[in-house]
C-alpha cells in the first residue's frame, strides 16, 4: 500500500509566510523505543543523513543491545537519548500507562532515571556519546521528578505537546515533540495526511503569530519499529518538504542559542 496524492499546499503557504517574514523555524526529530541495530533503524538513519536532519534516538537502556553501539558509532547524524529505563508500566490498570508516574515512589523513579543514563553511557562509549535528555516512556512523567533529573546531569526533558514553560526545573529545559504520525488508537498506521498537515500548519501559525512558545523547536515524533509503508513514505516526504523551507535543525548536543526562531 502506498500513499495517495497529498495536498501539501497549506503547508507550502505557511512556510512561505515564515520566509516572507524573514523568520526561521527551529525543528527537531525524535524517534522512540530503539534497542537494537535493525533494518528499520538503518532506513531511519539513512533519512537523517540524506536530509541533514539530526535524529534523536530514544534508546531503552535496560534492553539495549551491544550491537546498537556499533551501529551508532558510525552514524554521526544520530543523537542518542535516554528513554526511561525498561519501558515498563508501573501504573494500575485504571490509569494510563507510565513508567515514571507520580503514583510510583520517587526514590524508585530517581534510581531508574540515574541507571538509564549510566547504562547508556557505558554501552555507547562514555558521557559524550549520550545527549543529556530524558524521554519518559509514553511521554508521561510526574512533575516531582524534574529537579532530581537536573541534579543527576540531565539538561533536557522531552514529552509530547506544547510546553507550558521553558524550564521543567532549574537547569532542565523542556523540548517536546508536537507531531506524531501514527494513529495509535485506531489503525496503528498513518494518521490521515490531511489531518497531520492541518495540525502542523496550525502549530506553525500559532508560533508565527506569537500565540505559543516560538523558541521551542518544533518536534517530529516517529517509532521506526512499527512503521508501515504509508508511515515511511509520509515521513520522508514531510522531512523533504520541511528541509526545503525556512528551517534550521536543532540537536540536543549542540550549543544552545536562545531566540533562534526570529
CA 131 distance to own-chain centroid: 13
Cell numbers placing 205? 501559525
Domain presence at residue 178: yes
Task: Tally the residues of the chain.
Answer: 262
How confident is residue 257, by pLDDT bands cut at 50, 70 and 90? Answer: very low
List phi, psi (to 5°) of 241. -65, -45
**pLDDT tens by residue, 105-131:** 999 999 999 999 999 999 999 999 999
pTM (2 d.p.): 0.95
Report the pLDDT value the prediction gives residue 114, as an integer from 0 to 100.
Answer: 98
CATH no. for residue 180? 3.20.20.370
Domain presence at residue 207: yes
B/e letters for 142-180, b = 16+ CB within 10 Å, e = fewer, are eeebbebbbeeebbbbbbbeebeeeebbeebbbbbbbbb
The span from the CA of 29 to the CA of 249, in Å, is: 9
What is the mean predicted confidence (pLDDT) over 59-86? 97
Domain presence at residue 115: yes
Note down the domain range covering 138.
9-246
Domain presence at residue 74: yes
With residue 187 as reference, give the H or E element that holds it.
none
Domain presence at residue 252: no
Domain presence at residue 261: no
Amino acid at each position: 500500500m502506498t500513499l495517495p496524492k497529498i495536498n501539501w499546499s497549506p503547508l507550502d503557504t505557511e512556510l512561505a509566510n515564515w520566509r516572507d517574514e524573514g523568520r526561521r523555524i527551529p525543528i527537531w526529530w525524535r524517534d522512540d523505543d530503539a534497542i537494537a541495530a535493525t533494518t528499520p533503524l538503518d532506513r531511519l538513519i539513512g533519512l537523517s543523513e540524506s536530509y541533514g536532519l539530526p535524529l534523536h534516538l530514544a534508546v531503552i537502556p535496560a534492553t539495549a543491545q551491544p550491537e546498537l553501539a556499533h551501529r551508532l558509532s558510525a552514524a554521526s547524524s544520530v543523537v542518542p537519548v535516554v528513554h526511561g529505563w525498561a519501558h515498563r508500566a508501573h501504573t494500575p490498570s485504571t490509569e494510563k500507562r507510565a513508567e515514571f508516574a507520580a503514583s510510583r515512589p520517587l526514590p524508585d523513579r530517581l534510581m531508574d532515571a540515574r541507571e538509564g543514563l549510566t547504562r547508556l553511557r557505558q554501552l555507547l562509549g562514555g558521557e559524550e556519546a549520550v545527549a543529556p535528555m530524558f524521554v519518559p516512556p509514553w511521554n508521561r512523567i510526574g512533575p516531582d521528578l524534574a529537579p532530581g533529573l537536573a541534579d543527576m546531569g540531565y539538561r533536557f526533558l522531552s514529552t509530547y505537546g506544547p510546553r507550558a514553560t521553558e524550564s521543567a526545573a532549574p537547569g532542565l529545559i523542556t523540548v517536546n515533540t508536537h507531531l506524531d504520525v501514527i494513529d495509535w488508537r485506531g489503525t496503528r498506521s498513518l494518521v490521515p495526511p490531511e489531518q497531520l498537515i492541518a495540525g502542523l500548519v496550525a502549530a506553525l501559525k500559532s508560533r508565527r503569530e506569537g500565540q505559543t512558545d516560538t523558541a521551542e523547536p518544533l518536534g517530529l515524533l516517529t517509532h521506526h519499529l512499527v512503521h508501515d509503508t504509508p508511515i515511511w513514505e509520509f515521513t520522508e516526504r514531510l522531512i523533504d518538504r520541511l528541509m526545503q523551507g525556512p528551517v534550521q535543525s536543532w540537536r540536543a548536543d549542540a550549543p544552545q542559542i536562545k531566540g533562534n526562531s526570529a
